[in-house]
Chain A
Amino acid sequence: MRVLAGVLATVAAMGIGVYLAAALDALAGRVVGRGRLAVGETLALPARRGLGLLLRPRARTERPDAEAWALAPAALAGLAAVGLASIPLAPGLSVADVSSGIVLFGAAMALVMVAVFLQGWAPNSVHPMIAGYRFVAQALSYEMPLALVLIGAALPAESLSVGAIVESQAHLWNAIRQPLGMPLFLIAVAGLAFWGPLALPEGEDLVGGTSAEVSGAARLTWKVARLMVLVAGAAMTAAVFLGGWHGPWLPGPAWSILKTLAVLALLVWARHRLARVPIERFVWVSWVVLIPLALLDVFLAGAQALWAAP
């Protein structure tokens, strides 16, 4: 029963989260672009666009790797679902708050690289292929900080379970206890969902890269899968750094959802205000600055944990 409730809550959270992320993005585009701000109309836009894509045929390229092309969006969506499944919205309300939750999340997110590379490789076309290779370089750069700051967050909880990490923040959020953690994790999430300044495999300089050759339902599934990764990343940020379900007055799940939405709003804002970072500079910054900072984060968290130990 508990598991069924968790599955339903996770599916609902994913569906609503993806739609709200798309709607927030459309709204931010209107605000930043000084377009006509018709809120109702803008909120309906993702549904209209999605239906429009469903009514259009799929494009065919010359000699594509058809199996890989069909697999890529499904793999990306599946990995995002696995990631979200490890995050409880309230005590016990998750699909699988396993004892090694952050390891499961990290393992699923490491395979995002394979899904995006397949999407770039499969259409047998130049720009998507460059995009696929670009993402491999990008993923190798953000994955280390992603994993390291999660380890840092696990130290005060003395557990790898996401639920236990949330529980350890009852009095003090990790965002404050480990000030380096959340900014590094947010950069990694933007890289993971190839979003905003790190939308390198979807860049305008590659005419959309991984989505340059897709149309119709295939385009819709790819866009939805990418937003699913973004939502999973935002939900993990809320759980691991912003205290998850902890908060006054409101019930626990409401806090989890509100915090996730706040992180999504921050990521959407970044997309409309920050220019794309070139891949060479991102790789450089990542290895020279971000990874050492993530290591420092782990050392500081470890020292704090030792100090606090009885």
Chain B
Amino acid sequence: MMNTPETIAYLTIQGLATGSLYGMIALGVVMIYKTNDVLNFAHGNMGLFSTFLIYIMMTKYTAPISAHLYDWARCIDILGGLDANTFSITAFTLIAVFTALFAFFFGVILEVIFLRPAREPSHLGLIVITIGLWRILDGAIIGLFGTEVYAMPPPLSGFKAFKLGVIPVDQLDLIILSITGCIIVVLYLFFRFTRLGIAMRATFQNREAAGLMGIGTRTIFAVTWGISSVLAATAGILTATKLNLDNTVILFPFLKAFSAAVLGGLGSLPGVIIGGWMLGVTENLFGSYVSMGYKTPFAFIVIIVVLIIRPEGLLSRRIKRGV
């Protein structure tokens, strides 16, 4: 391993990209934690389910959909200079939009069916519900899609490395970073300026008070699960693009993201992204310069040590809880 500034920059960008994936998953975990007061252990598999869906649709329907679009465009004579390749991109976009919609309603349905019926839930009880959900989704994924390893089809494959000035970068890492950037901007605007976003922030802060102010907190719960599920699906798809798709690909990224969320303190949403980046970069530098094998144990040791020193997480304010 060369110890030049270029390599360090390369590793940092790589770490930031991985960290963005952690951050994306963790963001959903924290949003759910803020509404339902529970760590959602099923989060990784929620995303993985949508990832499998998009994989199946891309392998089966990309060609037919793009062929249809092509015919249709030729019929109404708007073909112009477009070729078949453009239409497969369009087909992919349609499939991606459909997957996002599916992921949203998947999250909503899970909340309504599994979390909502729990009356007077205890903290442990809610955790156990999400653990049960984790098992169900795990079983469902193995039952429906098996345990084989799949490579994502194009356009989610065949990414190249190139040089940005003197720094070598992977195309995929840049794509991940830009998607993360978009998500951050969109979520910021959503939470800052829309009625629903403001209502959600109010619910995050205090459920009862928000309810008394006339906010339909049940809807907010469902929407939160929907958005988290979309985030998890995005992270799942990008992870599968990076590492190939199988039924366990999300496990360690999810556990690390989960821990990054707790590391950030389950408090502020921007803190979660920063926590994810910190974990991703530290882990990547450690993996490259110290020991590749000990990368994962190292990440968890860091998390344990941080939590021992600051039991409420790194970035959250210390809150004295009453009895």
- The answer to whether A and B belong to the same complex is no
Mark B residues whose CB is within 8 Å of A.
Answer: none
Mark A residues whose CB is within 8 Å of B.
Answer: none
